[in-house]
A and B are shown apart, each in its own frame.
Chain A
Amino acid sequence: MSTLYQFRMEKRGNDPDECEDSIAHSAHDNSHVFAMSDGAGEAVFSREWSTILTGYVVNNPPDPNTTEDFLEWLQTSTTELHALWVAAIPPFEALPWHGKAKFRRGSSATLLLVKIENSMMQACAVGDSCLFHIRDAELLKAFPIDDCEEFGTRPYLINTQSGVSGDLASVAIWGANMQENDMIILATDALSAWLLCRYRDGGRPWEIILGLDQNDATFREWIESLRDEKEIRNDDVALVIFKNSLSTKNKEDLDEDKNAIINSPTGVDFQLESPSLPIVPPLGEANLVESEVEQVSTSGVEKYVADAEQAFLEDNHDAKEMAQ
């Protein structure tokens, strides 16, 4: 049974409804689509924009084979997405002078899209919201950023008026196989940066995340403690934890495909990531992080998908309505 947990938390000092990070998810049979977006704080109506982006892509997921495909999909979707954003915000004439001035600049947000279908996973990204792929308690891949030093610079964003820059570097796609009990963590930049910096320093920070009881009170308390210690930037946080379980049929498929090239539906290949190659050199000696991990239970991961998904879908009801 797959398990799913999602969590959003506003920046300290803000109201919960001011959180501009969004999450959406859809599930059909053996497929899941996740989307995460971080609305740019300096832009206007960013919460609406990130909600629209995530709702739109889980209902209309692209199927790119290359970064060029994904870039083209984003560029061709800009008009429709812009119209959805305009429909979701107050009419231009009702905006005060500063709102009108900033409306012309549009809103901006990151986008991380993850599709899991049977034993295949594909991820597409613009910006610094990240995916972490974990197998047997080891981090196999961080995508699209794998170095904590890369945070802090201006991330690539999708703008309501202009879409994405035409630069191929602004988009990234990646694919891998997804085995039973593999886990993925999706996180917006503040938590992703914390995770990668702790990893760089020899820690196993995903074990802390996976070891927490999956309820919002626990995660809020944990994030607040990271802020108190200045380990994490005071920013909105979005988090998704998904544990993959496969049906019997899927397991058979996986056995046949094991260590093979995953063929995309349209015939262009994704090279499997080798599970034996971590993204950075092997970790050093046990440190404080690991000793902390030993003290926390990992049993909290077990939360069944049906209830979680229902809550998840309800949370994103508005996004879906806007996207339809």
Chain B
Amino acid sequence: MYEAEISRDNPGLFLFLLDQSQSMDDAFGGRKEGIKKADGAADALNNILYAIVLRCSKGMEVRSYFDIGMIGYGREQDWVGPVFEGDLQGRDLIPTAELAEKPTRIEQREKTELDGAGSTVKVPVDFPIWISPVAVWNTPMCKTFEYAHGIVEAWCNTHPTAFPPIVINITDGESTDGDPVALAERLTSLSTQDGNVLLFNCHLSSHRRPTVLFPDSEDELPDQFAKKLFQISSKLPEVLLEEASVEGFPVTSNSKGFAFNADLTDLIQFLDIGTRTSGRARDA
């Protein structure tokens, strides 16, 4: 299980679920100032899409090793839907080749690189933007898992031999439309021949409490909502456990794809580990 080759003929699926509710307008860690969670989440997601596209790039072309979905929830009352903009607006899933061609815009950013003499230099790089920060209204998480179920079920039916879809939910608050546990379990009951759908949850910090990354029990989690998110999170399959271990996370065989009270750095690490299957995608 969780061993399927990822290729253009047998692509994978990353489906991101992004909380865009009002509370995402607050700064990380309950601070009054600093990076807002909505800004940080959008930036982290743009970064992870950038990394995924680069892993699929062969120079002139990008190979469609993955279908990518970006589903937002909360930008209007009880709203759920795809949040890609511009030419991609309104579509649930985008192949990586098309994603590379159609960012909303490309910004110039500076990247620190080593020069030939071992010193660091800042070089300008093109940085594509697909996701813009939004923070209004509520947190219809149940409706979101239902929406995700529809996308993932259809995808599994047309990709029966694929590496199982990875669904990554980023939220900072409790569901406002009921208990999502049963709907999350229904989502993760979907499968391909290579295993069940994986659901990873990242809770963004609103309190000054220690971050918990990839826990193997709920003992350190402070409240019922955190424990619920832990319960509905999938165990990391072996391939991702290895990646997390290499990166220095103290994972065990029971570690789950869950982060509690993550700051921006934790979120980026979480997304990086959660999408490391993209390193397995290669046609050569």
Mark A residues whose CB is within 8 Å of B: 10-11, 13-14, 18-20, 39, 41-42, 44-47, 89-90, 95-104, 234-236
Contacts and interface: CB of A to CB of B under 8 A. Distances in A.
Contacts of A234: 5
B284 A11 contact: yes
A68 B51 CA distance: 37
Of B100, B113, B279, B283, most A-chain CB atoms within 10 Å: B283
A97 B128 CA distance: 8
A20 B126 contact: no
B34 interface: no
B7 interface: yes
A98 B100 CA distance: 8
A62 to B, nearest CB: 23
Contacts of A104: 113, 123
B48 interface: no
B283 A44 contact: no
14 contacts: A11-B284, A13-B7, A13-B8, A20-B284, A44-B58, A97-B100, A97-B128, A98-B53, A99-B59, A100-B126, A101-B54, A102-B59, A234-B5, A235-B284
Contacts of B227: none
B47 to A, nearest CB: 12
- Listed from nearest, the 9 A-B pairs whose CB atoms lie closest are A41-B282, A44-B59, A97-B126, A41-B284, A98-B57, A20-B284, A13-B9, A99-B59, A45-B59
Given A97-B128, A101-B126, A11 B60 contact: no
Contacts of B101: 96
B55 interface: yes
A39 B126 contact: no
Contacts of B58: 44-45
B62 interface: yes
B124 to A, nearest CB: 10
Determine chain A's interface SS by DSSP, over half rule: loop
Given A96-B100, A97-B128, A100-B126, A46 B57 contact: no
Interface in B213-240: none
B106 interface: yes
A236 B284 contact: yes
Given A42-B279, A97-B106, A99-B57, 20 more contacts: A13-B10, A13-B283, A14-B283, A14-B284, A18-B284, A39-B284, A44-B57, A44-B58, A45-B59, A46-B284, A89-B59, A95-B59, A96-B101, A97-B100, A97-B126, A97-B128, A98-B54, A101-B50, A234-B5, A236-B284
Contact of A11 (B50, B59, B113, B283): B283
Interface string B101-120: 10000100000010000000
B133 to A, nearest CB: 22
B125 interface: yes
A96 B284 CA distance: 21
B57 to A, nearest CB: 4
Nearest to B127: A97
Contacts of B54: 98, 101-102
A14 B106 CA distance: 31
A295 to B, nearest CB: 31
A241 B234 CA distance: 49
Contacts of B60: 90, 95-96, 99
Interface in B236-284: 279, 282-284
A16 to B, nearest CB: 12
A103 B101 CA distance: 18
B10 to A, nearest CB: 8
